[in-house]
Amino acid sequence: MTPPSTIDLRGAPLLVVGAGIMGAGIAQVAAQAGHAVWLHDAREGAAAQAKDKLAASLDALVAKGKLGSDAVAQALARITPINDLAEAAGATLVVEAIVEKLDAKRALFQQLEGLLAADAVLATNTSSISVTAIANGLKRPERLVGMHFFNPVPLMKLVEVVSGLHTDAAIAEAVFALGLHWGKTPVHARSTPGFIVNRIARPYYAETLALLHERAATPTVLDACLRAVGFRMGPCELMDLIGHDTNFSVTQSVYEANFQDKRYQPSGVQRDLVDGGLLGRKSGRGFYDHRPGAVNPVLPAFEPAAVPVGGLLRVMGHGPVADRLAAALTQLGRVFQRKEHSDWVGLDIDDAQLRLTDGRCASEIGVNVAVFDLPMQPAGAEPGQPLAWALSGRATEAWAEKVPRWLMALGFHPQRVADTPGLVVARTLAMLVNEAADAVLQGVCTPEGADAAMKLGVNYPAGPFEWLARWDAASVVRLIEGLDAGYCGERYRVSPWLRQQAWQAAARQEGQP
C-alpha cells in the first residue's frame, strides 16, 4: 500500500465529469484553489454553457465587491470545457458528478481507467450509491473514493470522504487533505447506505411524518416546536423546500439498502403528497401553500400568564430542565420546594403533575398528569418558546385548564398535541442521537465526524453527540424504550452503543471503576 505521505493532490490536474449544479460548483472550487480543470458533460455544449453561467455568477460577486476581478479571471482561465474525455487524459484526479445511477457511474469509471494514468485518483460525488458497488469491475478499485459535496458547493463546507471496501486508505487520506486545502471540512465515512448525513438525518423527517400520520399535531405546530430548539427550518418546511419526490426517493433508497429495516420505512403521508403532485415549493403546494398570495397558518402571538394559584409546589428531579423550572419560579416570586432525588423531572402541584416527557403517554402515567416536551434551551432563553404538551385522558377539566397557564407563566408558548409517546422535540432528538450512535457503532464515522457532518451538511444547531452531552444517555435510552413500548414495533430500538454509554455513566455515578 502506498504511504499516505507520498500522495499529494494539491494543484493536480483535475477532470470534473458532469456540468450540472454540483459539477460546476466543484469545478469552481478547484479552479479557485489553483487547479487546472477540464469540465465535461455528456450533453454537447453543456460544459461551455456551465462555464458561461459560472462566469456570470462570479462577475456578479465582483460587482458586489465580494471577489477580486483578477482572482475571478484567473480561476475562469483554469477551467476548460471539453466535449471528448480523451482531451483530459493528463488528469491525475477526476471527480464524477453525473446522474445518480449505479450503471452509469460504473461505466464512466471503467471508461476513465482506459484513458487516465494508472495512478489517477477516481472520486465520485454520489450522495447515496455504494462506493463499493461503483468500484466493482474496475481494474484498480482501490483508486476509487467517495467525495460527497453538498449544495451549493462553493458555500457548503462539508465533504464526506467515503471509503468503500476496496478503497486504499492512502487515497482517502489524500482526498481528505485536498478537502482541507480547498477550505472545506472533510469527514471520513464508511460506505454504508446514506453515508453520514443522509443516514443520520432520516429521523428528522420520519418522526414528524409519523406524528402527522397519527394526526397528533399540524405541520405549523411541529415546525414551530423544532425551530424553537435551534433548527433553521422545521421538517415540513424543509421537505417542502427539498421536494417531496426527492425526499421520498432518498428515504426509499436508504430503506431498501437496509433490507427494509423499519427504522427507515417511508411514510404513507409523503407518498400521498408525491402521488398527488404536491411536491412542495417546486409545484406550489406541499404541506404549505407556496402559490403567490397564499396565506398559511401561524401560531397565535405568545401571551405571558400569571402563575395559577396553588398550594404545595415542588420542583422534581435534577438537571438542566429542573434547574430552569426552579429559576423561572424564583423569578416569579413563587415559594417552592426542591426534591432532586426523584425519578421524574417537572412540577408537583397539589394533586397534579406537570412532567418532562420520558417517552410514555400522560395517560399511562396517571390521572391528573400532563407531559411537556424537551425544551433543550439554556436558562435565560427568551420567553415564548413554542413547547408541545399533552394531557392524560383521565385528567380533570380544571387541570386541563391550568396546564397551559403554568407553561405560559414559566415562559413557554404551549402547543397542545395528542397524547403521543415522546411528543415532538424529545422523540426527534432521541432518534437522531440513536441513529448517530449506531453509525459510530458500525464504524461509519466517529462522534466528532457525525457532529461536524450534521452541523455543516444540513445546518443542525448542534451535532447528535453534542445534544447527548447536554442531555444524558440514560434519559435518551429511557425515552426510546418508552417509544418502543408505545408502538410495539422494530422501529424504536436502542443502539447498543448508546446503552453502553448509559451503563458506563451509571457505573461512574456509583463510584465503580
List active site positions: 127, 148, 160, 198
Q: Is 98 exposed, middle or buried (0-12, 13-18, 19+ CB in 10 A)?
A: buried
189 neighbors 402 (Cβ within 8 angstroms): no
CA 254 to chain centre: 14
| SS3 state at 378 | coil
Closest CA to 375 of 383, 364, 365, 367: 383
What element of type H or E holds 21? helix 21-32
Pairing between β-strand 337-339 and β-strand 79-82 as defined by DSSP bridges: unpaired
Written as one string, the DSSP assignment of 129-184 is S-HHHHHTT-SSGGGEEEEEE-SSTTT--EEEEEE-SS--HHHHHHHHHHHHHTT-
261 neighbors 251 (Cβ within 8 angstroms): no
CA 119 to chain centre: 36
Peptide bond into 461 cis (omega under 30): no
Over the range 67-85, which residues count as b (16 or more CB within 10 Å of their CB) and which as e? beeeebeebbebbbbbeeb
Written as one string, the DSSP assignment of 62-83 is HHTTSS-HHHHHHHHHTEEEES
423 neighbors 388 (Cβ within 8 angstroms): yes
398 neighbors 457 (Cβ within 8 angstroms): no
Rg value, the chain, Cα: 26
| Measured distance CA(246)–CA(330) in Å, rounded | 49
| Measured distance CA(278)–CA(234) in Å, rounded | 18
